[in-house]
Amino acid sequence: MGLRDKLRRLERDAGPLYGTLRLPDGTEVRYEREELFDALLAAIEGREHRLLPYLRQIPGGEGMGGVVRALEGERAS
């Protein structure tokens, strides 16, 4: 197995290094894997993060958007 094949296998096994948020208006926001957790920590600590405005736009009470809204709702109470 050559180096190129090993790299392809490692990339495949690691999965995507980024994700995409799809907003209700069709906008797509790309983020790195660790950024989503950084945004969650920012919401917990009451700080801003570049992804938080986008996460707030995601409808419904599930997923990371729901978690962020619940955290911010608790802080507002």
Q: What is the pLDDT of residues 7-40, one digit of tens each?
A: 778 777 766 678 889 999 999 999 988 899 999 9
Is residue 74 scored above 90 in pLDDT?
no
pTM (2 decimals)? 0.72
E strands, 1-77, in order: 18-22, 28-32
Within its chain, how far is the Cα of 5 from the centroid?
30
| Domain ranges (residues) in the chain | 19-76
Amino acid at 20: T
28 forms bridges with which residues in the sheet? 22
The mean pLDDT value of the chain amounts to 86
